[in-house]
Each structure stands twice: as structure tokens, then as C-alpha cells.
Homo-oligomer: A and B are copies of this chain.
Amino acid sequence: MARFTPRQDEQEGLVENQDIRKAGLKVTLPRVKILEILENSEARHVSAEDVYKQLLANDEEIGLATVYRVLTQFEGAGLVERHQFDGGHSVFELNRGTHHDHIVCIRCGKVEEFVDESIEKRQREIATEKGFEIADHSLVIYGECKKENCPNLKE
């Protein structure tokens, strides 16, 4: 009966297992579960602690150290991106292949995304002017979202 049992990744129709392999990493249960959480989580931008708490809620016995290790490896492999919004701790999001910047509500923490080609272009020009070979950039706008939408302002 074992002969016709499909492998788990085929069974569940997941594409991410191949992504993990492509990154040169062994396909382990923690890595698969963490990737699932990144895919399915309500919030697109999550901290390591957020991922860990989700794992606990799903009764997965995965250590916090592993979460940090795996997220860092996924970052190195280009599977996820790490951001450092003000406040010190990192947040991660699945790399969907399209660059974007962020606007964050300083009251409720909501994160929205945007792309502006004219800003991108000016950044490239500035780097060139300064003699820098640009590798990356981080643009975060901080503000207060609309009062009627902001969960931290119901008075």
C-alpha cells in the first residue's frame, strides 16, 4: 500500500516545497509550516513572534529559535523580505516578486503598500549622482489612517 502513496507535497498541491528546495534547503516540517503561515496569514506583514504564535495555535511543536532561523534563511534565499519599521523589531512578508514601499499607521499599526515609479527613478538618479551603486532601499511613510477605519481611535 505504500507503493501508491503520493508524497505529502504532491498530495497537498503545494508549490512552496519546490521553492524551499530551489533555495538549497531541506524540505522540513518547520519550514513548510512557516511558509504556509506566511501564505495564509491574515496580515501580510508579520513578526517572528506572530509566526510563532500562529504555530502554537495550530498545535505545531516548533521552537521560536527555529522560526527566527528559518525566516532568516528564507530571507537569504529571497523567499521573504525583512523590514525594520520604527519600533525596533523586524517584520517579514512573502516575496511576491514585485517591489513596493510601505505606509504605516502610527496609531493602529496598519500597513499599506504602494509603488511610485517617479520616486524609484529619482532614487536611482540620486545614487548615481552620489557615486553609489544602489543595492536596495527602504521607504516608509508614517501617518495616521482615516479615523473611521482606525481601530485604535473609536471614541
Q: Which residues of A contact B (CB under 8 A)?
A: 84, 86, 88, 103, 105-106, 112, 114, 116, 118-119, 122-123, 126-127, 130-146, 149
Contacts and interface: CB of A to CB of B under 8 A. Distances in A.
A97 B133 CA distance: 29
Contacts of A119: 119, 122-123
A76 B147 CA distance: 25
Given A138-B138, A143-B132, A116 B122 contact: yes
A114 B146 CA distance: 31
A133 B143 contact: yes
Nearest to A148: B131
Contact of A136 (B136, B137, B142): B142
Nearest to A129: B114
Contacts of A126: 103, 114, 116, 141
Given A84-B88, A135-B142, A138-B142, 6 more contacts: A86-B138, A88-B88, A103-B127, A114-B126, A131-B146, A134-B143
A82 B61 CA distance: 39
Residue of A86, A135, A143, A146 contacting most chain B CB atoms (<10 Å): A143
A145 B130 CA distance: 8
A137 B139 CA distance: 7
